[in-house]
A and B are shown apart, each in its own frame.
Chain A
Amino acid sequence: AQTVTQSQPEMSVQEAETVTLSCTYDTSESDYYLFWYKQPPSRQMILVIRQEAYKQQNATENRFSVNFQKAAKSFSLKISDSQLGDAAMYFCAYNAGGTSYGKLTFGQGTILTVHP
């Protein structure tokens, strides 16, 4: 079974600084997707960024980028120029490719606090 591990229960960052959230996963599949989701307090889960395992290039979405290390099964999220609105719980998630239909396996989450 696939597992996703986030070893940082909480992280904090100063506004305008950079922070990196860690995630490791375990799978025997070669074809899969990885995601970072953001869940603000009492608000809906939204997709931040996704990475296809077959792509060597790291995904980037504006201030958000990932460091995908397939051999190490590591998938970290870097948030640059942090803003107060980035404060939320962040979840790393995995989806097997191939014949998978999109079922997500989530990590435990990391609470990100942004200090003004």
Chain B
Amino acid sequence: GAGVSQSPRYKVAKRGQDVALRCDPISGHVSLFWYQQALGQGPEFLTYFQNEAQLDKSGLPSDRFFAERPEGSVSTLKIQRTQQEDSAVYLCASSYASSRGLAGAVYNEQFFGPGTRLTVL
């Protein structure tokens, strides 16, 4: 089947505008992650969903960032009143289940989407 898809691939916003970024995970994947990747840097964790439950939003940089996954499949990352420092690539990743660190447990690989490159002018 298809991999993780994200839309739009590119988004240009004027400072102060609201944007919505969409992620379509691989069908049947329980876990969904959002990461923010600044130019030339490694991705940084934003938030995590297990099905429709948002279990960790510790990485969201401010209350202007909001994510949802209402039916446990598609997820949307919304940024309100965008600022120039929000310019980055936003990556979505999904995995079949949550990993466990028990010896012998199988780690469920995270599959990444192509990202949405957001430029705030």
Which B residues lie within 8 Å of A50 (CB)? Answer: 107, 109
Chain B interface bracket (under 10, 10 to 19, 20 to 34, 35 or more): 20 to 34
Which B residues lie within 8 Å of A99 (CB)? Answer: 100-101
- Closest chain B residue, CB of each to CB of A91: B42
Residue A116 is within 8 A (CB to CB) of chain B in the complex: no
Q: Is the CB of B109 within 8 A of A47?
A: yes
Chain A interface bracket (under 10, 10 to 19, 20 to 34, 35 or more): 20 to 34
In Å, the complex CA distance between A21 and B42 comes to: 15
Q: Is the CB of A104 within 8 A of B3?
A: no
Most buried by B among A32, A54, A98, A102: A102
State the main secondary structure of chain B at its contact with A. Answer: loop
Which B residues lie within 8 Å of A47 (CB)? Answer: 109-110
- Closest chain B residue, CB of each to CB of A55: B103
Residues 68-121 (chain B) with a chain A CB within 8 angstroms: 91, 93, 95, 98-103, 107-110, 112-115
Q: Is the CB of B42 within 8 A of A108?
A: yes
Which residue numbers of B lie inside 8 Å of A, CB to CB? 3-4, 31, 33, 35, 40-45, 48, 50, 55-56, 91, 93, 95, 98-103, 107-110, 112-115
18 A-B residue contacts at CB 8 Å? A4-B42, A31-B103, A32-B101, A44-B115, A45-B43, A50-B109, A52-B103, A91-B43, A97-B101, A98-B101, A100-B98, A101-B31, A101-B48, A102-B98, A106-B42, A106-B43, A109-B40, A109-B41
Which residue numbers of A lie inside 8 Å of B, CB to CB? 4, 6, 31-33, 43-47, 50, 52, 54, 91, 93, 95-109
